[in-house]
Structure formats: C-alpha cells, structure tokens
Chains A and B, each alone.
Chain A
C-alpha cells in the first residue's frame, strides 16, 4: 500500500470498519445467552441456543427451503434468458426490435422495486381476470417475478463480457466446417461461461434476498425467508435472526473463499500451460 496519501488510507480503514462492525455485532450477539440483544450475559455465554431455536423453528425452516427452491429455479431460468439477451445485444448486429430489447434489458435494474412489484401483481390479477391463469398469487408468480429482474442482471453481465471477445476463434471453427449451433455450444459459450456463472450467482443471491417485489406477488402460504425475517424484526431485534445472519455470512465467506482459490488455481494452470507450450515450440 503506497502512493495513496494518509487521508484516503485512513478513510479506507474507517470505511471498512463501518462495513464490518455491524456484521461482527450480529455474529457476536448470536452467541449471547440473553434475549436482550444488547446485554452480554457473560455467565452463560457463548451459547448455541439461538441456533437450535432457529433450526427447530418450523416456519423459518419451511420458508428457507421455499426460498432456496425459488432461487435455484429463478437463477437457472434467468441465466438462460439473460444469456440469450446478452448475446443478442452484443453479437447479432442490427436486427428488428434491437432498440426495444436494448431499452428493456436494463429497465428492471433501475426501476424502483415497489413499482416493479406493483406492476407485476397488477399483471397477474389482470391475467387471472382474462384467462383464469395464474390461479391466485403464490410460488409461480414469485418465480416469474424473480426470473424477470434476475435475467436483466445476467444479460448486462454477459453483454459486457463480450467487450474484449476474440471472434477469430469462432471464425476458425466455422472455417473448419462446424455448424453454427456447434460453434456456439463449443466455442462461444465456454468463453463467456465465467460471465454466465457470475450472473447465475448474482441471480441466486438477488432472488434469495428479495423482499419488496416478493411481498407484492406472494400469497398466503408462500412466505419466503426474507418475508418471515421482515415480519419478525419489524418488532425489534430477535436473537435467532442473528444466528441466521451468522450462518449466512459463513456460507458467503466460504463461497467467496472457494471461488478465489479456484480462480487462483486456474490462473496458475493457465500460466503453466503457456510456459509448457512455449517450451515445446
């Protein structure tokens, strides 16, 4: 660390502390025996009792399971649709309707969530009036809503991945007689795979965490995890939610750590392959 000057470096340290103190406090108090989250009960802490309370809370476990299933479905469908959208904008050149697609793709990202939620619910209500489907709101409408805003993020990530794309590899495969679909599956898709993977992870996180849009399009009996958490913490702190947050932070830290290790490993292998190739020639 150098060249930045003392003021920016101090601000960076303070800013990172600001980002992490609240998360640290959640973790610490999740092991506190007292129900009063702010009083540390030194005689009986640390304790895992809020973790047991969390795991034996039917409502939370059911909501978490529902959220995971919706997030898996939404992230996967959004990755397919979003990749198509990103490819269309980056690679198809001019086509009829390009302006429409280019205008629509970033729209769900910038639209305030309350408006998106309201609009989607009004659509579902109008659809049910007109054709009798979807029958009321619930898991189906939540999934449709999540796919819609997630695919926008995937499309943007995929489109930007094409910025430094080397088209000569595709051309070589075409010259060698590969069919367009084969070229797409064997050359194009592997090259943009990191962007698609990043888009999938982003979609999973966004779907798993969404509260505002989901509240509009959810019905009785389809409470997702954020909805349950929100109704609990509206009334104040709740130690089992701290336990939940701790588990989540742990999962994210493990996920990011694994990704970093994987990326470093692949980079090392690439460097080694390049060296081997150079030694061979």
Chain B
C-alpha cells in the first residue's frame, strides 16, 4: 500500500509541476522555434504574424531566411566555432585540474573528505558574478598576477591578460571546477580498493594500475563532469563579457546583442535554435548518464 493511490491526489501531484513546466518552459521554447522561421517587422512585437493569408487561405509562415542569413555572414559561424573551442579547451583544463583533486579527496580519510568537499563547494554558494569579477582585479595590467610574474622575473613588463582567450579559460575553469570535481569524486569514492591491491599483488606498478583500473572505471564520472562543464560553457555570457575579447564574441553574447542591440528577434531565435542543435547530443548524453546514476542501487 502507498499513500499515492488516491486519484485526485495523484492528479494534483503530477499535474501542477507538469502544467507549470509546459506553460513556462515548453511553450516558450516552441515560440522561439516558431519565431526563428518568421520575418522581422518594424512593429511591436517586432516580427511578422505566424499565419499568412494567401488567396484567402491561411498558410503558416515558414521562412528559412534567418538561417540562411546566419550562414552567409561569417560572424555567426565564427562565433559558433569559437564558442565550441573555448568550451572544449576549458573542459579539458577542468578535467586536468579536477581529476587529481577529486582523486585526492576520494582517497583522504573520511573526516578530511567532508571538510575538503565543503571547501570545494563553498565558492559555488557565493555569487558566480562576483567570483568572475574577482579576476578582473587579478588579471589587469597592474593586477596581482602581473605583479607575481614581474617579481619572479618571468616577464619584464606587464603582460596583457584581460580581454584574451586566456582570461576566458581561467574564468570558466574557475567558475565550473566544482561541477567537474563532484561527479568525479562520487565515482572515484565508490571504487573497490581490493581491485588495486590485487593488481599490485600481480606486480602492476602504480601508473599502470591507474591506467588499467582506475581510469576505465571512472569514465562515467569523467563524462558527467565534462558535460556539466561543456554545456553551460558553450552558452556562457558573463565570463566573456567581463574578461573576454572584444573582437571575437561567444555565441551567447551574439544572441543577446542580436536581441537587445539590433532588436532582430527572429535572428536571435534562429541563433538560439542553432546553438541548441549543437548541444543536443551532449545534453542527451548527460541525461542518459544522470538517469543511470539515479536508477543505480545505492
């Protein structure tokens, strides 16, 4: 017996969140999809009606001109490719830094483990915006990083660090590192130490044990962490706006400019739909991984 057999109760429990998400997530998204096939108008709202009348018959207005436009102006294709590159490089750096960190936490004593996890999570609870902002002060020409570089004699005059790709990588890695560490930790913590002991008994050296046992077992954790960093990084807006280049925009910024500066809502919608198409495969992969993690016995 369960308390969830009552019919009205069941309808209420499932119905309310479903209605909310359909009304405020699914339908808005369908509007974006529809708008991406519409033409811009200098009116309020600034787009042509969804239905056109031809010879007295209603015809759905489907124009591919916005998409054609995105492919004719190299600005857009370049921004898409740049966003993918920035996201890929940042994800790789996150993995390189986050994997050993997660590993060290998973192998620490239980008391240390809780404290270390808390230390990793604490910045996440403070403001994303302010944490990115902190890097403006560190990376500017007379900032801390340049002071250190000068003091170490690595450079002889301040290097321009702000408004470079490097600053964007730093910002994204800094903001998303906990998202890489947590799924990796959750995975690494479950490994059975006896497997490594058995391998050691059979004469495998530490690096070989890592390559043949730990690394393959942690692949789901690597995939989950990488996707959790990569997906938001592609559409990242705050980091490139505060730290990034002004001559090469990421696609999230292009979308926002198209909407707010050019007031071209149909093109902004087409930019959004194409961005989503790039992310469909990573998003589906992530959902599959998470469903598996949720359904796995604890």
Contact = CB atoms under 8 A, between A and B. Distances in A.
Interface in A9-66: 9, 11-12, 15-16, 18-23, 25-26, 29, 36-39
Contacts of B174: 18-19, 22
Given A22-B174, A23-B123, A180-B3, A95 B283 contact: no
Nearest to B295: A163
B129 A229 contact: yes
Interface of B: 1-6, 9-10, 12-14, 16-18, 20-22, 24-29, 31-32, 35, 45, 97-98, 100-101, 103-105, 107-109, 112, 116, 118-120, 122-123, 125-131, 133-138, 140, 142-144, 147, 174, 177, 206, 231-232, 234-235, 237-238, 241-242, 252, 255-256, 259, 265, 268-269, 272, 275-276, 279, 283, 286-287, 290, 294, 298
B125 to A, nearest CB: 5
A108 B256 CA distance: 18
For B4, B147, B206, B290, which residue has the most chain A Cβ atoms within 10 angstroms? B4
Interface in A108-122: 108, 110-116, 118-120, 122
Contacts of A260: 118
28 contacts: A3-B107, A4-B104, A16-B116, A38-B140, A84-B16, A85-B17, A91-B2, A92-B13, A93-B4, A97-B14, A98-B14, A114-B256, A118-B32, A120-B28, A126-B45, A129-B45, A144-B24, A145-B24, A147-B20, A167-B2, A174-B3, A229-B130, A236-B140, A241-B130, A245-B127, A253-B122, A255-B125, A256-B125
Interface stretch (A68-76, A205-213, A269-277): A205-213
Given A110-B287, A237-B137, A101 B27 contact: no
A149 to B, nearest CB: 9
A15 B97 CA distance: 7
Which interface class (under 10, 10 to 19, 20 to 34, 35 or more) fits A? 35 or more
Contacts of B134: 22-23, 25-26, 245
A112 B275 contact: yes
Contacts of A18: 97, 174, 177
Nearest to A87: B13
Nearest to B123: A19
A114 B272 contact: yes
Given A37-B137, A110-B231, A184-B3, A164 B237 contact: no
B120 A115 contact: no
Nearest to A155: B17
Given A8-B107, A118-B268, A237 B130 contact: no
Contact of B101 (A15, A85, A230): A15
Nearest to B272: A115
A4 B287 CA distance: 31
Chain A contact residues: helix, strand, loop or mixed: helix
Contacts of B231: 110, 112
B21 A148 contact: yes
B3 A209 contact: no
Given A92-B4, A119-B32, A245-B127, A233 B269 contact: no
Contacts of A105: 17, 21
Nearest to B258: A118
Contact of B123 (A2, A7, A20): A20
Given A7-B100, A25-B137, A88-B14, A230 B21 contact: no
Given A4-B107, A115-B276, A129-B45, A108 B25 contact: yes
Given A105-B21, A118-B255, A119-B32, A211 B129 contact: yes
Nearest to B250: A114
